[in-house]
Structure formats: structure tokens, C-alpha cells
Amino acid sequence: MTTILKTDLPGLLHRGKVRDTYDMGDKLLMVSTDRISAFDMVLPNGIPGKGRILSLLSVFWFEKTVHLVPNHFIAMAGDTAALGTIADSPPVKGLSDDIAQRAMVVRKARRIDVECIVRGYITGSAWSEYKRSGTVGDMPMTPGLKECQEFSEPLFTPTTKADTGHDENMTFQQMQTLVGDDLAADLREKSIQLYEYARGLAAEKGIIIADTKMEFGIIDGEVTLIDELLTPDSSRFWDAERYQVGQPQPNFDKQFVRDWLLASGWNKEPPAPALPSDIVAKTAERYAEAYLRLTGQSV
């Protein structure tokens, strides 16, 4: 499958770690490229077909959760019937199939500059913090937790939203100062509700959603889900049948890439190393397996 690391279309608004976003007036064209980032840094080579999976899986979850929280999704860029006259507008008009399969047309929102992270299990940076200080997101935790153990209830641990560089942890109180008490409470409630709903659906497919991050914006005065939702880039997906407390878990996300980078001795400073071909292939397989298990469809 073709690997697309960069797009060059008219109206470029923003080039993020993974997505290239183009201005369409009151709408946006969001292209999920095959770039992959780890530790807040884009790696030199990508994962073939990854962008298509990110877009299609986001659409799957947007449609499943729209009864809980509205989202910005209008249609995939290649769905001319759903787009109607929008299909004749640049940069959608004349898109190659490779790009159209990776691109969503969405409503433009005023982004809320917070990453809303919900954790159901103690792993990743949360596990590192807990081993160091007995806290997660600066919140004291019960002593004696084991790696990948389930929390008694999901934790909301927001971070800053950085377009470049590292996202920084923030307390809920800091989030309240940034966005206001009412909006902070609303975002926390919506994030946990979405996580719990999705976790239940995924469990039926043999996948544990260990944690996930979401982004929100304001459209017509209403809090709205934006960007991506519950993908292998933004979530940790574990194999429920092979889950065991006290050790790293078999996964269907980019943890495989993180593990290789850590084992390589990279110091998390630029330049990031290129991924070997076998790591690229195995990562692509994991993303495709996550999509197949969750949706019942192959890519």
C-alpha cells in the first residue's frame, strides 16, 4: 500500500504531527497521513495505510457516539454522494484516491487547547509517574498497584495541547483556570462518558481500551468532538484474552513502536531514528487488526 508522508493541496492551514489540515471556509479537509509520532516527535518513515485506518476508525467511533456528544464529521472526502456540492469545492475536487481514502471533511471548530485523557488502567506515563511518586496526574493513588492494573474508576488526566514539542501534564485545577470551571467539568464528564461507552463496545470485540485521549472544540456554542477518536494513535488497545496484570500487554496500537524506540537507546531528542522495515510491517499489522476487530471489516 502507498505510504503518504506529506500532502500539498491548496489552502494549507496546519501541518500537525500526523494530519495535514486545509481550509474550506466554514469547513476543513483533514488528511490523516501515514506519518507516525512517538514521544511527541514525528519519525522519519511512516506506516503504510495507517492514515486510512485512522480516518475510517474515527468515523466508526464518531457514528457510534454521536448520541452522546456531537462531533465535527461531515463525510469522507471520497463520498461524493454525502458531500453533495461540497465535492466540487477545492481542495476536495480532484483529490487522488490515495488521499481521499485518508481524508475527512469536517466542520470548523474553535479548538479547546486541552488534551482530554481518560485512563482505565495504569500504564505508560501513568505507571512511570506512579513508580516515581505514588501519584497519577499529581493525584495520590492507592499503594501497591501493579503495572497495567485496572483503576477502581476511570481517571481524567488532562494535558496541554502542543502543536509542536511535548504536551505537558496539568491538574484539573489548572484546567479550570485555563478554560473555566463549568467547561472543565463538562469536558471531564463527556470524556469519561465516551470512554466508558467505547470500552464496553470494545470489550465485546475482545479489546481492552486501556486509555485514550480526546479533543474538543466549540461549534455554534456547543462542545463538540474534533480531530480523531479512539484510534490506535490516540488510545492503547490490548488483547483481552491475553491480558495479565503486572506486565506489559499484547497490543494493537503504537506501543510497539514506543517499545522499539526505547530499546534502541534513543534519548527522545531529535533526530528520531528511522524504523526498521520489520517494525513498520508489524505496526501496520497491528493497526489493521485493531480496525478489523472493532469494526468487523478489513481495510
Residue 96: all three cell numbers together: 487522488
Question: Looking at the 3D structure of the chain, how many domains does it have?
Answer: 2
Same domain, 133 and 231: yes
The answer to whether residue 282 is domain-embedded is: no
For 75-121, what is each residue's pLDDT tens digit?
999 999 999 999 999 999 999 999 999 999 999 999 999 999 999 99
The answer to whether residue 85 is domain-embedded is: yes
Query: Which of 108, 134, 152 is the last residue in one of the domains?
Result: 108
d(C-alpha 283, C-alpha 95), whole Å: 27
Taking the whole predicted model, whether its pTM rises above 0.75 is answered as: yes
Same domain, 181 and 168: yes
Q: Range of 238's domain?
A: 111-255
The answer to whether residue 86 is domain-embedded is: yes
Check which CATH number belongs to the domain holding 139 and give it. Answer: 3.30.470.20
Same domain, 145 and 244: yes
Same domain, 86 and 123: no
For 244-296, what is each residue's pLDDT tens digit?
999 999 999 888 899 999 999 999 999 999 999 999 999 999 999 999 999 99
Same domain, 19 and 119: no
d(C-alpha 273, C-alpha 282), whole Å: 17
Residue 83: all three cell numbers together: 458531500
The answer to whether residue 6 is domain-embedded is: no
Check which CATH number belongs to the domain holding 91 and give it. Answer: 3.30.200.20
For 184-243, what is each residue's pLDDT tens digit?
999 999 999 999 999 999 999 999 999 999 999 999 999 999 999 999 999 999 999 999
CB-CB contact of 234 with 136 (8 Å): no
Same domain, 121 and 48: no
Same domain, 97 and 158: no
For 219-233, what is each residue's pLDDT tens digit?
999 999 999 999 999
The answer to whether residue 241 is domain-embedded is: yes
Kindly report the number of other CB atoms within 10 A of residue 291's CB atom.
Answer: 23
Residue 17: all three cell numbers together: 504531527
The answer to whether residue 66 is domain-embedded is: yes
The answer to whether residue 284 is domain-embedded is: no
